[in-house]
């Protein structure tokens, strides 16, 4: 996805949040560094995820940390585990369990820190979960996904945030009811609150999926360079990719990889507009052809 002017204050806000989390005394320096970099990097045709990756890499270096969100990732998983029994019952009683499993995971996607969504504290998700689920799906391509699953052999599930990954187990279990080889992808290196292999330890996900793979490198969304190697081949060989979260859309929309079903909450106008959706809805949207904008 091409970077919008609206992405600039959003990225600055996230940098400020992570600096305050690690070392409040470094907040001003972190923001000034990010602002200077954005002045150099922002321009027509640049990918929003690529720019965000470069900014966060430098800010992490400045803050002297490899994982500024470590505390919040653990808290997010803890809160999601408390919500999980309710979500599990909801899916078990559903007439359309795959759709409602997707919905529960998408509601987990509201956890995003420093971008002004109102969910900077994971505990808020516990209070708002039922209300957000009751909103349902503002866009629902689940029937089209079900049709593809009936003939699919290989499916790749690109995870997103901690907390959210706990609820993703519901969708992974429903997907395994089909005769598919299912690969879950987590991040190789910590970035933002995205789940790494260490973050999913103890969640039992390895008992649900056939394989767990790691998206190479340090990247918001996916490293576009890595898509030229074995990781990219794995994605291109899949019959269906299910991608959680806005950052995966921001990066994958720069490629010809398809079909991809995006499961996300449209938390910002640029992403919503690029996807042809309304802002602030729970969405399941399938792109059957590569999408570039």
Q: Tell me the DSSP string of 165-226.
A: HHHHHHHHHHHTTSS-EEEEEEESS--TTB-BTGGGTTS-GGGTSSEEEEE-SS-SS--GGG
Q: Residue 178: what pLDDT?
A: 96
- Per-residue model confidence as pLDDT tens digits over 25-48: 999 999 999 999 999 888 878 889
**Least confident among 78-92, 102-116, 164-178, 181-195:** 102-116
pLDDT value for 14:
92
Residues 51-63 have pLDDT tens digits of: 999 999 999 999 9
Residue 250: what pLDDT?
Answer: 92
Mean pLDDT across 272-286:
95
User: What does the pLDDT read at residue 138?
Assistant: 97
Query: How buried is 84 (Cβ within 10 angstroms: 0-12 exposed, 13-18 middle, 19+ buried)?
Result: middle
Q: Is the pTM of this model over 0.85?
A: yes
**Does the pLDDT value for residue 164 go beyond 90?**
yes
Give the C-alpha separation, 202 to 210, whole Å.
17
Q: Is the pLDDT of residue 282 over 90?
A: yes
- List, for residues 263-273, the tens digit of each pLDDT value: 999 988 999 99
* pLDDT band per the 50, 70, 90 thresholds, residue 111: confident
CA distance 234 to 185: 11
CA 225/CA 144 separation, integer angstroms:
30
CA–CA dist 155, 234 (Å, integer): 10
pLDDT given at position 69: 93
Mean pLDDT (whole number) for 83-101: 97
Cα–Cα nearest to 284, from 144, 184, 133, 90: 144
Q: Which residues pair with 154 in a beta bridge?
A: 181
Confidence (pLDDT) at 191: 96
Coil/strand/helix, residue 130: helix
What does the pLDDT read at residue 51?
93
Q: What are 185-218's pLDDT values in tens digits?
A: 999 999 999 999 999 999 999 999 999 999 999 9
- Burial environment of residue 192 by CB neighbours within 10 A (0 to 12, 13 to 18, 19 or more): buried
In whole angstroms, give the CA distance from residue 84 to residue 248: 24
**Taking the C-alpha atoms of 259, 181, 146 and 167 in order, what is their torsion angle to the nearest 10 degrees?**
-100
User: What per-residue confidence (pLDDT) applies to 116?
Assistant: 62
pLDDT digits (tens, 9 = 90+) for 175-187: 999 999 999 999 9
- DSSP letters, 7-37, are HHHHHHHHHHHHHHHH-GGGHHHHHHHHHHH
Mean pLDDT (the chain) is: 92
DSSP state of 227: G
Mean pLDDT calculated for residue range 213-230: 94
Residue 93 neighbours by CB under 8 Å, 6+ apart: none
**How confident is the model at residue 109, as a pLDDT?**
85
Q: 124-163, pLDDT tens digit by residue?
A: 888 888 999 999 999 999 999 999 999 999 999 999 999 9
Contact criterion met (CB below 8 Å) for 141 and 286: yes
pLDDT, one tens digit per residue, over 228-263 is 999 999 999 999 999 999 999 999 998 999 999 999
Quick one: pLDDT at residue 117?
60
Angle, CA of 170, 173 and 179, to the nearest 5°: 150
- Residue 263 phi, psi (nearest 5): -115, 115
């Amino acid at each position: 996805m091409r970077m919008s002017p609206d992405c600039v204050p959003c990225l600055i806000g996230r940098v400020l949040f992570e600096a305050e989390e690690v070392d409040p005394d470094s907040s001003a320096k972190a923001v000034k560094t990010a602002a200077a970099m954005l002045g150099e990097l922002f321009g027509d045709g640049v990918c929003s995820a690529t720019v965000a990756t470069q900014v966060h890499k430098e800010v992490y270096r400045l803050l002297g940390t490899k994982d500024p969100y470590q505390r919040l990732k653990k808290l997010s998983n803890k809160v999601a585990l408390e919500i999980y029994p309710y979500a599990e019952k909801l899916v078990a009683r559903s007439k359309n369990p795959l759709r409602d499993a997707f919905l529960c995971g998408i509601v987990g996607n509201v956890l995003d820190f420093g971008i002004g969504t109102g969910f900077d504290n994971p505990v808020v998700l516990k209070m708002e979960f039922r209300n957000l689920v009751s909103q349902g799906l503002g866009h629902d391509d689940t029937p089209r996904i079900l049709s593809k699953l009936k003939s699919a052999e290989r499916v790749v599930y690109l995870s997103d945030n901690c907390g959210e990954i706990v609820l993703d187990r519901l969708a992974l279990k429903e997907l395994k009811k089909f005769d598919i080889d299912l690969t879950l992808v987590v991040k190789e290196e910590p970035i933002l609150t995205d789940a790494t292999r260490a973050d999913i330890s103890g969640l039992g996900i390895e008992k649900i999926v056939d394989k767990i793979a790691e998206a190479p490198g340090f990247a918001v969304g996916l490293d576009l360079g890595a898509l030229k190697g074995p990781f990219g081949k794995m994605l291109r060989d899949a019959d269906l990719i299910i991608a959680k979260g806005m950052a995966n859309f921001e990066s994958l929309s720069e490629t010809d990889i398809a079909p991809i079903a995006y499961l996300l909450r449209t938390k910002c106008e640029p992403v919503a507009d690029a996807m042809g959706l309304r802002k602030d809805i729970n969405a399941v949207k399938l792109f059957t052809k590569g999408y570039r904008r």
